[in-house]
Amino acid sequence: MLLKHFLWMVLTVGWSFGALAATDAEPPTVLVLGDSLSAAYGIPRSAGWVALMQDRLAQAGYPHQVVNASVSGETTAGGLRRLPAQLQRHQPALLIIELGGNDGLRGQPLPALHNNLRAMVEQGQQAGARVAIFGMRIPSNYGAAYAEQFHSRFAAVAEATGATLLPFFLEPIALDEDAFLPDGIHPNAAAQPRLLEHAWPVLEPLFKSSTSG
């Protein structure tokens, strides 16, 4: 009887610790490093596509917690400076890089854009995160050659690093004037669900893989 009682206690305690460990396991983190397009510029932050993604994840049964580290006006250089601290603090399972548009609008050198993007991807991967890059386009009045080469850098970095690529984040609304604020640059609140729907098919496989390990 004593032996049976002892074995029962061992099994019960072991199960309790296992259940506690499972309960206390931290949900995977999604870190969004972006500019005003992800910082919900000009609209309530709760209406931005990043906040809507958190809601969509919960509705779909994913345990992920989203951290929005986006800053309006951010460039790839600024993102690269901020990324190490963000990685250390949040230890994300998934890193979404939505940067580069401000580099293009300011006519920054394309090699710097390329190198900054690649460095951010590689830092994220080295920290154990799966990485997605959101590509961008700029108007052709910056020069057709510059605009095309700018856009191609996102694909080049994704191909070189194995990162997941969304070729053009604003694609579903780019030609719809009613989807933007009066400045003609920033998407309005009504456009945010369309941006999420566009990105979701690219991101969902990463959510699945980061849940299963």
Active-site residue list: 36, 183, 186
3-state class (DSSP) for residue 40: coil
Asked if residue 70 lies in contact with residue 39, where contact means CB atoms within 8 angstroms, the answer is yes
Residue position matching structure tokens 């690093």? 161
Residue 22: CB partners within 8 Å, gap ≥ 6?
none
d(CA 181, CA 158): 30
Angle 192-203-132 from CA coordinates, rounded to 5°: 100
Residue 197: CB partners within 8 Å, gap ≥ 6?
172
Burial of 119 (C-beta count, 10 Å sphere; 0-12/13-18/19+): middle
Burial of 147 (C-beta count, 10 Å sphere; 0-12/13-18/19+): middle
Longest dimension (CA), the chain: 86
